[in-house]
Amino acid sequence: MWRPGPAWQDEDQLARAWRAARPFPHLVFDDFVPAGALPELLAVLEDEPVERYEGDIFVFEASALEPATPALRAVRDAFASVLSPPLSRITGRPLRRADMRAYAYRVGHYLLPHSDHQEDLGRAVAYAYYLPSPEPPSGGELEMFACRAENGELVSTDSARLIEPAPNRLVVFEVSVVSLHQVREVLDGLRISLAGWFYP
Amino acid sequence: MTTLEQLFGGRTAVVVPEVVGPALAARTRERFERAGYTRYALLDRGSYDVLPDPEEPELFGPLIEIAARTTSRSLVLAEVRALRLQPGDYLLAHHDRIHDGHPVELVLDLSPASVPGAEVHYRRRGQVYFRAPGAPGSLAIVERGPTVSCNHTYVTRRHAAASIVRLVMLLRDG
């Protein structure tokens, strides 16, 4: 299912693009898996239970931290094992494992600006993979912010890039104190994704 | 044995409806507009307009009286600010200050109309224990403690004309 396509062949070029990306290192891969693999992936998600989660920075539906079904655990493990080696070389960060949750953002759902960075968690690279939706969403973009930090505190935050949740698109980005990003509110439709982090 | 939960759980957290009418709310909003809001936009903490120290002595007196009656405490004004939240705005809990002692926080909803989901949440150790719903004219009265934090929930972009105006007062024993 997870087979990096031709876009992954020139890792030197990808490493340069990673380092040059603004507001912080990231890459966007379209047509990430062969179109023929998508029905199998969507079938896995149909059996995975999701619950509503609500906090001061988010409202969404998601699967549990550890997938409930063996099928999604297998998808996660294959994703980590196929992508960790090339992403380690591209990002310059040793990556060995990844977690994965399935997310459903319905109308009115959002994830407000945050960095993902927590010293004790070891998150090195974040990812989001967008799936085809029966109701293509309006809104739900990944928004990245250009930030300036002083003494570990952000002192400016400015919108810098919007990435649409296009089907079969993978976004990977570096996790740091300045990797501020959000999922903008879904205004219509349904946004389906797999997302998580790579760890050393 | 008395638990901390019992100590803190018994404190006041109520909403008094219809404390101000639409006409007074509209006049107050106009005065806030004239005084001029400042935009706060450190987005990892909040996104909103703020007017520090608005001067509304005719409004403050009756609100403090209601709070004193409700809590059976003698209270004086310690801090006040007006907040305006528009579509896409919010204040996160970690942007809120932890207060020593047990001051009383008042939130007067001066909005022209309610917006679904736009609420003020009070949290104890991260868990919401009191929701002040969006209800124009209402007054939330919350006795805070050192484990209490507060957030103003995200205002949806699906109501393009949404404008939430809240007068937030902190009262201490006088």
Residues of A with Cβ-Cβ distance to B88 under 8 angstroms: 185
Looking at this predicted complex, what is its ipTM?
0.92
Which is it for strands A138-139 and A181-183: parallel, antiparallel or unpaired?
unpaired
To the nearest whole Å, the CA of A49 is away from the closest chain B CA by 24
Look up tokens 């999922």; give the residue: A183
Tens-digit pLDDT profile for residues A85-118:
999 999 999 999 999 999 999 999 999 999 999 8
Domain that holds residue A18: 6-199
Angle value at C-alpha A88, between A151 and A42, nearest 5 degrees: 105
The residue of chain A nearest to residue B160, with distances taken between CA atoms, is A187
**Residues 78-137 in B contacting A (C-alpha not used; CB under 8 Å):** 88, 90, 92-93, 117, 121, 123
State the alpha helices, DSSP H only, in chain B: 4-9, 22-35, 57-71
Tens-digit pLDDT profile for residues B38-84:
999 999 999 999 999 999 988 999 999 999 999 999 999 999 999 99
In a domain, A67, yes or no: yes
H or E element at residue A191: strand A191-199
In a domain, A189, yes or no: yes
A109 Cβ neighbours under 8 A, 6+ residues apart: A58, A59, A60, A61, A183, A185, A186, A191
Res. B123 pLDDT band, cuts 50 70 90: very high
pTM > 0.90: yes
Residues of A with Cβ-Cβ distance to B93 under 8 angstroms: 56
Chain A to chain B Cβ contacts (< 8 Å) = 43
Pick from B90, B121, B123: CB nearest A112: B90
In a domain, A23, yes or no: yes
**Residues 87-116 in A contacting B (C-alpha not used; CB under 8 Å):** 107-108, 110, 112-115
Structure tokens at A192: 């389906």
Domains of chain B and CATH, by start: 4-173 (3.60.130.20)
Tens-digit pLDDT profile for residues B125-147:
889 999 999 999 999 999 998 88
Q: Which CATH number do you get for residue A38? A: 2.60.120.620
| Predicted local distance difference test score (pLDDT) of residue A153 | 85
Contact A98, A183 (CB under 8 A): no
In a domain, A1, yes or no: no
Q: How far is CA A195 from the centre of its chain?
A: 4
Of the residues B40, B42, B44, the best mutation for testing chain A's interface (the one with the most A CB atoms within 10 Å of its CB) is: B44
Give the total number of structural domains in chain A: 1
In a domain, A143, yes or no: yes
